[in-house]
């Protein structure tokens, strides 16, 4: 089980004193938060992708590469990589490079995002959002698993004899989570490929996400990747803590009321009742999140949103101290109790390399002697037929 934090990279005024950090201050604060996440014993830091104010994270790979150089074991992920408006060829190149420079501490959360104008900014049609997500990921999946790709689709120019470089580290592609808050087709896509499904369940009642996760688990088994219980699930979360729950509510209320993520809507009390937002004591957070598997089943990754809504850096670092020191150690034990042996651990580069190669040395890419864009050696991955997925539009055979 992995525990970590994700950031939406908002630059928001602190409602208690009226100050707003500059872009430079907010970026440096985020880098400090990521390093502190490792210092307090968390496993994952995830960064969103945005191309509009009030958010700064337009270049996740640059940011995550810097954090990789400052940390030793932290898994560096995206909280959203826009599969619809980014070229899948560039995604393949950028994240394979990040995988190399981080020593394999890299994965992605693929999504469509929630900012409509980003589509025309990058020359795309929002009405084609779902077909773009399906086609672009199909190409990305192939680019990481086939040394030489011939491809033709609807939304970009064809590829002939194309090799994405660098090749994935040890011949194993970065692990991909498909993130969604509302779309069954994305749960289906994650299941078809045997990838992870991240339900960012921070906005809507649990029954909505139960349906999405149940669908993903059922279809994961349908495509032959394992039992429903072996599907790879991640969840979002939001907490704010103090030793006394009343103090936590008092301190957090002005930030909640003005937050761009959920402010100016339901009350703090209503939102806390309907969603995983937990504002209270560390024990209240433990009790709330230890019960998550009763709703969603055993899962592999829990990420918390901590640094948003204008919260000062010191406050966020103090919250991480509580999360890493008092909450996560207990949750690790609680969520391990009664966990069936067949439920897999969270995917890591090391355990995926072991699964692909066993005791053999991992494959290393070597330039072919007679063709500059070819590489020698057979891929450890084999495409498996899935007629039902092809009917859905997810097949690997391109037009």
pLDDT tens for the chain, 399 residues: list them: 999 999 988 899 999 999 999 999 999 999 999 999 999 999 999 998 888 888 888 889 999 999 999 999 999 999 988 888 889 999 999 999 999 999 999 999 998 766 667 767 777 777 777 888 899 999 999 999 999 999 999 999 999 999 999 999 999 999 999 988 778 899 999 999 999 999 988 877 788 899 999 999 999 999 999 999 999 999 999 999 999 999 999 999 999 998 876 767 789 999 999 899 999 999 999 999 999 999 999 999 999 999 989 999 999 999 999 999 999 999 999 999 999 999 999 999 999 999 999 999 998 887 654 444 445 444 444 444 333 444 344 543 333
DSSP state string for 156-224: S--EEEE--SSPPGGG-PPEEEEEESS-HHHHHHHHHHT-EEEE--SSS-HHHHHHHHHHHHHHHHHTT
Report the SS3 class of residue 19.
coil
Architecture of the structural domain at 2-392: Alpha-Beta Barrel (3.20)
Domain ranges of the chain: 2-392
* pTM for this predicted structure: 0.89
| Residue 121 to residue 85: CA distance in whole angstroms | 9
| Residue 18 to residue 310: CA distance in whole angstroms | 10
């Amino acid at each position: 089980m992995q525990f970590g934090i994700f950031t939406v990279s908002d630059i928001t005024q602190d409602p208690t004193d009226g100050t707003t950090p500059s872009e430079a201050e907010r970026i440096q604060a985020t880098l400090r938060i990521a390093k502190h996440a490792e210092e307090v014993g968390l496993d994952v830091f995830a960064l969103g992708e945005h191309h509009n104010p009030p958010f700064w994270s337009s270049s996740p790979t640059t940011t995550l590469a810097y954090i990789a150089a400052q940390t030793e074991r932290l898994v560096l992920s995206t909280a959203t990589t826009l599969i619809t408006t980014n070229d899948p060829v560039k995604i393949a190149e950028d994240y394979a490079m990040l995988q190399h420079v981080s020593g394999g501490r890299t994965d992605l959360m693929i999504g469509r995002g929630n900012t409509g104008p980003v589509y025309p900014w990058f020359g795309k049609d929002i009405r084609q959002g779902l077909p773009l997500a399906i086609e672009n990921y199909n190409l990305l999946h192939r680019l990481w698993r086939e040394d030489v790709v011939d491809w033709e689709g609807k939304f970009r120019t064809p590829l002939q004899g194309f090799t994405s470089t660098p090749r994935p580290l040890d011949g194993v592609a970065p692990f991909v989570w498909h993130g969604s808050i509302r779309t069954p087709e994305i749960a289906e896509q994650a299941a078809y490929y045997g990838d992870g499904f991240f339900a960012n369940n921070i906005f809507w009642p649990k029954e909505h996400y139960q349906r999405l996760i149940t669908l993903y688990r059922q279809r994961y088994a349908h495509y032959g990747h394992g039992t429903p219980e072996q599907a790879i699930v991640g969840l979002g979360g939001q907490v704010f803590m103090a030793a006394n729950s009343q103090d936590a509510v008092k301190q957090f209320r002005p930030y909640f009321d003005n937050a761009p993520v959920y402010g100016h809507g339901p009350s703090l009390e209503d939102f806390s009742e309907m969603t995983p937002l937990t504002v209270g004591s560390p024990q209240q957070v433990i009790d709330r999140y230890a019960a998550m598997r009763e709703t969603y089943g055993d899962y592999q990754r829990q990420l918390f949103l901590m640094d948003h809504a204008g919260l000062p850096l010191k406050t966020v670092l103090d919250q991480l101290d509580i999360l890493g020191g008092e909450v996560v150690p207990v949750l690790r034990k609680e969520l391990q109790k009664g966990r069936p042996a067949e439920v897999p651990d969270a995917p890591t580069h090391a355990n995926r390399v072991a699964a692909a190669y066993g005791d053999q040395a991992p494959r290393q890419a070597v330039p072919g002697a007679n063709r500059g864009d070819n590489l020698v050696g057979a891929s450890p991955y084999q495409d498996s037929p899935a007629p039902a997925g092809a009917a859905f539009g997810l097949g690997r055979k391109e037009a």
